[in-house]
Amino acid sequence: MTDQEISTQLQSIKKEALTALSHCDTLDLLENWKQAYLSRKSKFNDILKNLGKIGDVDTKKTIGELANTIKDELLKTFDEACTTLNAKFLNEQIQKEAIDVSLPGISYKPGHYHPLSQICQNIAQIFSSLGFEQVFGPEVETNYYNFDALNIDADHPARDEQDTFYTSIAPHVLLRSQTSTVQIRSMEKTRPPLKIISIGRVYRNEEINARKYPIFHQVEGLYVNSKVSFGQLKWTLQKFINAFFERDLKIRLRPDFFPFTEPSAEVDCECPFCDTKGCKTCGHKGWLEILGCGMVHPNVLKNVGENYQGYSGFAFGMGVERLAMIKYGIYDIRYFYNNDLRFIGQF
């Protein structure tokens, strides 16, 4: 064959290939086309194989270049065809798979924390940031920790007022009526300085109504160091109240009496719901009664032994249910213990 013939043949193969390629509308056909025109067994390759037999170097070069150009062009066109076809198929798939994105998501029903848990965690977090370590104490207690060590002597009316539950175990074994028991237990275990809070369950023999339940929860705080003052107590409680209600609120203190603190005080804060104008939450008083507190009574420090001689401290206690009722506007304490999912689901 002459150069001319060979080049004509190449051109005709090219033309044939391009025509064939334009008819390939599946990926399989494209693959077949590639086998037919560009593989080792293709006509095109057959021609190139024979190239070696051409003696004339120039001719060989010219034909070679031509063949490569055609091959490149075919490959390029093939790649383009592949891309186009893939794009087409992808587009078809996408159109076919259209969904109604407004249908509801498939999901699990979310669980909910009990509101008291959230309040407890919140309180623990705030005091943790003030350096108070969380500790726990037993609910089944003794007369000693619940009363005697807390400077509440056997004849003290507080023992009547609190109407404590006693157990079948022994005459001195009772259900604690206050978390202040943890003060004594912590001081017995740890040398000063001591900075703790304890959140836990307490029991009082009271008829159930919207405000009272025989079990409820208290937060107890205690700070003992070499020189602790009433001013520091006020500062700590001010910081807590601001953090708990997430805004700056004025506090005011009123004298009160607890056998284990002296001086003792009851702390009110401005009602965050009405700016002291008076509303349902604060009973139209403009102020909310939040907690009881005071300076640790010297007799309490004496009762825990010589490690605490020469130290002073402050203590405070508050009701978890009460705080939750204020924060969430819950008006009946029994909601906390009915465990109605319509209630828990709101928190």
Partner 1 sequence: MKFSYDWLADFVDLSGITPVELAEKLTYHAFEVEEVSTYGAKIVGPITAGKIISIEPHPNADKIRLTRVLINDTDTYDIVCGASNIEVDQIVPVALPGSIVINRHDNSPLPIKKSKIRGADSNGMLCSASELGISTDNSNNGGIYILKDSNIKLGTDLIDLLNLKQDYILHIEPRSNRPDVLSHYGMAREIAAIFNLPLKEPKTNINEFSQFQEAFIDLDINIENKEDCPFFSLCGIKNLTDINTPSLIRHRLEAIGVRSINFIVDITNYVLHEMGQPMHAYDYDKLDNSRAFLVRRACNEETITTIDNRLRKLNSTNLVIANNQKAIGVAGIMGGIESEISNSTQNVILESACFDARSVRQSSRSLGLSSDSSLRFERGVIKHMTLNSLNRALYLILNYSIASNPNIKYSKVFQTGDLNEQTNRVSLSFKDLDNTLGVSIDTATVESILNKLGFSVIDKNQFEISVQIPLHRLKDIGESIDLVEEIARLYGYNNIPLEPLETIDHIPHNQNISDKVKENMVGFGFNEIWTSSLIPKKRSRNTDIQVLNPVSQDHEYLRSSLIPGLIQAFEYNLARQHKDIFLFENAYVYKHDSSITSTTLDLKSTGVSQILSLAALCFGSNERQNWLNLSQETTELSFFRLKGILENILVNLNINLNLISWDSCDNEYLHPTRQASIIYNDPSRKIKLGHIGEIHPKLAIDYNTKQRLSLFEIDLDAVQGLIFKDSFKSIANTPFVNRDITIDCDTIISHQSIKWAIISQNYDKLTNLELVGLYRPSDNIKSLTYRLSFQDTSKTLLAQEIDEIIEKIRLNLIEKFNVSFRGL
Q: Residues 296 to 335: which contact partner 1 by CB under 8 A? A: 297-298, 312
DSSP class of residue 149?
G
Among 11-19, 53-61, 80-88, 219-227, the segment contacting partner 1 (CB under 8 A): 219-227
Interface with partner 1, residue 166, by CB under 8 A: yes
Whichever of 42 and 180 has its CB closer to partner 1, that residue is: 180
Rule CB under 8 A: is residue 168 a binding residue for partner 1? Answer: yes
Contacting partner 1 within 27-86 (CB under 8 A):
none
Nearer residue to partner 1 within complex by CB, 179 or 264 = 264
Give 81 or 291: the residue with its C-beta nearer to partner 1: 291
CB of 275 to partner 1, least distance (A): 19
Residue 341 in the binding site for partner 1 (CB under 8 A): yes
Tokens of 9: 């043949």
Rank residues 6 and 324 by Cβ distance to partner 1 and give the closer one: 324
Burial 271-281 (b: 16+ CB within 10 A, else e): bbbeebeebeb
Contact (Cβ atoms closer than 8 angstroms) between residue 293 and residue 314? yes
Of 132-151, which residues contact partner 1 (CB under 8 A)? 132-134, 138-145
169 binds partner 1 (CB under 8 A): yes
Q: Does 201 contact partner 1 by CB under 8 A?
A: yes
Establish if 215 lies at the interface with partner 1 (CB under 8 A).
yes
Longest dimension (CA), the chain: 131
Binders of partner 1 among 95-114, rule CB under 8 A?
103-104, 106-114
The span of 49-57, 59-67, 75-83, 290-298 binding partner 1 (CB under 8 A) equals: 290-298
Minimal distance in Å, beta carbon 118 to partner 1? Answer: 9
Identify the DSSP state of 148. G
| Structural Rg of the chain based on CA atoms | 43
The answer to whether 267 touches 260, Cβ cutoff 8 Å, is no
Tell me: does residue 288 bind partner 1 (CB under 8 A): no
| CA–CA separation, 180 and 222 (whole Å) | 9
Residue 29 C-beta: closest distance to partner 1, Å: 37
Strand ranges for 176-306 from DSSP E: 194-203, 215-225, 251-258, 261-270, 287-296
231 lies in the site for partner 1, by CB under 8 A? yes
Asked whether the bond before 298 is cis by omega within 30 degrees of 0, the reply is: no
> How many residues bind to partner 1 according to rule CB under 8 A?
91
Nearer to partner 1, 5 or 97 (CB): 97
Using alpha carbons only, what angle is made at residue 17 by residues 13 and 18, rounded to the nearest 5 degrees? 120
Report whether 140 contacts 167 (CB < 8 A).
yes
Nearer to partner 1, 278 or 298 (CB): 298
Q: Which residue has the tokens 């063949």?
A: 67
Given the complex with partner 1, which of 27 and 210 has the nearer CB atom?
A: 210
Helix 57-96 to helix 43-50 angle (10° resolution) is 160
252 makes contact with partner 1 (CB under 8 A)? yes
Q: Which residues contact 40 (CB under 8 A, 6 or more apart)?
A: none
Element (H, E) at 315: strand 312-319
User: Hey, what are 243's tokens?
Assistant: 């953090």
Q: Is the Cβ of residue 59 or residue 134 nearer to partner 1 in the bound state?
A: 134
